[in-house]
Amino acid sequence: MLSQSINPPAVFRIFLLLFVFILLAGCSKDYEDGLQAYEEKDYAKALEIWRPLAERGDAEAQFSLGYIYAKGQGVEADQDTALSWYRRAAENGHAKGQFNLGLAYQRGQSVEKDMNQAIKWFRKSAAGGHVPAMYILGLLSVQGMGMDKDPAAAVEWFEKASAKGDSRAQLALAMMYLEGLGVEKDIEKAMALMRKSAEQKNLEAIYRLGMMNPARGVDKNSPQAVEKIRKAAELGYAQAQYDLAEMYLKGKNLEKDPKASRAWLEKAAANGLPRAQNDLGYMYLNGIGGKADLEKAFKWFNAAAEKDFPKALYALGKLYTEGKGVEQNDLKAFELYKKAADLGDPEAMYAVGYAYSNGRGVEKSDAMGAEWFRKGSDAGHAESQFALGNLYANGFGVTKSNEQAAKWYCLAARQGHPHALDMLISRDPDNSCGLSQELLDQARKKSVDSPLPEPGAKDNR
């Protein structure tokens, strides 16, 4: 009989599978209900629907909870809680959760920075088909971040992401072919990849494509390049906007027009480009392309300084030194100069040395002055070289030495520093510095020992 042929354990398994299927179908429906609520910006309802699913192990719901907490949608933003849900989703094999967990380790966000862990989770995410993970692995491979530099591996990752239509990867791969990194140099292939990326409205690709010449590679000065740069600028690409501003300012490839230059710098600065913000501050400070405006100069220098742009930090320091647009404050000026100097700006190194030598904003110390003038000198800053020559000539902060004084005066003189020429004549009668006779004749007509100029004798652009 039929009833005698039924195997009870088999029946149990069938009912169990049906139960699980119904349960999963219900979960999927619940998740979609939460997604609809989320899309309607009813975050509280979405959270209410997704939380029990996430607690039961639904990876998609776990990831979504992480996102909601990360963005502070319907709840107070909480990066620690977001990371906790991303981790649970990642451990359940969710590719986006794995990627976000990798980003947290890369940035040290709510977890100790750990590039090994970051790369581990990026690899898992890439294996799960997440294209941004493939792209970032390409970047890490070419930069050698958390791993040995491996341009060939970078090409492989960019190719995988590019094949899936990622415009950033297509552009990155184009640059690899353009430079011959990890692959044989091929300008034609580079341009083809840039076109693919540009067709997806990748603004950097549109910009770079405009500078490409099929025969020579990069050619920024052709009429075609200018029009492509303009197109990218009009679409909102900050670097292209900056380039147009520079062309208008210098009259290169376009008729000189400082007013148009300032207008394009305004756009690039508004788009957050630090160099544009700094240069716009300079234009407002000096009345280039329109009226001078100290308030706006300070605003844009400060915007770039907040991004640690060294020239802007230096420019702000100078404003505080001179009391322009702000209350004069040597302490604040020194703080800004020091930060810019630590970031490698030679003019700021001179300013720090000057502050120590004159006790402005910091306790006077000829030795510290000498140390910072030497750093500026080693970076090729003529004013620092002249200052260091003066210290050796007078024995301030260093052991007095005419030989060392002549050395540094010579280096400054080679860069055209006028007072360095004056000071060199008596210390280098045999012209071991190798200066031209014309310069020597000019220097012999005058021999003036001038004091150190204050920081900022030259502009900050």
CA-based end-to-end distance of the chain: 96
pLDDT reported for residue 26: 45
Dihedral over Cα of 438, 442, 444, 450: its sign: negative
Tell me how many helices (H) and strands (E) the chain has. Answer: 24, 2
Q: What is the pLDDT along the chain (461 residues), one digit of tens a residue?
A: 333 444 445 544 544 444 444 444 444 568 999 999 999 999 999 999 999 999 999 999 999 999 999 999 999 999 999 999 999 999 999 999 999 999 999 999 999 999 999 999 999 999 999 999 999 999 999 999 999 999 999 999 999 999 999 999 999 999 999 999 999 999 889 999 999 999 998 988 988 887 776 554 555 666 777 888 888 899 899 999 999 999 999 998 899 999 999 999 999 999 999 999 999 999 999 999 999 999 999 999 999 999 999 999 999 999 999 999 999 999 999 999 999 999 999 999 999 999 999 999 999 999 999 999 999 999 999 999 999 999 999 999 999 998 899 999 999 988 888 888 878 777 777 777 877 777 666 656 654 444 556 665 544 44
pLDDT reported for residue 25: 43
CB hemisphere CA count around 73 (13 angstroms): 19
Could you tell me which of 158, 214, 209, 224 has the C-alpha nearest to residue 186?
214
Our CA dihedral for 18, 22, 23, 26, rounded to 10 degrees, sits at: 170
By DSSP bridging, strand 212-213 and strand 217-218 are antiparallel
Domains of the chain listed by start with CATH number:
1-128 (1.25.40.10), 130-229 (1.25.40.10), 349-461 (1.25.40.10)
Residue 194 β-bridge partners: none
Q: Which residues of 172-200 are buried (b: 16+ CB within 10 A; e: fewer)?
A: bbbebbbeeebbeeebebbbebbebbbee
Tell me how far apart the alpha carbons of residues 283 and 302 are, in angstroms, rounded to a whole number: 14
With a CB cutoff of 8 Å and minimum separation 6, the contacts of 122 are 98, 99, 102, 133, 136, 137, 140
In the three-class reduction of DSSP (H, G, I as helix; E, B as strand; rest coil), residue 285 is classed as helix
pLDDT reported for residue 165: 95
Phi and psi at residue 57, to the nearest 5°: 100, 10
DSSP of 22-61: HHHHHHHHHHHHHHHHHHTT-HHHHHHHHHHHHHTT-HHH
Tell me how far apart the alpha carbons of residues 420 and 397 are, in angstroms, rounded to a whole number: 19
What's CA 182's distance to the chain center, in Å? 24
pTM check: above 0.75: no
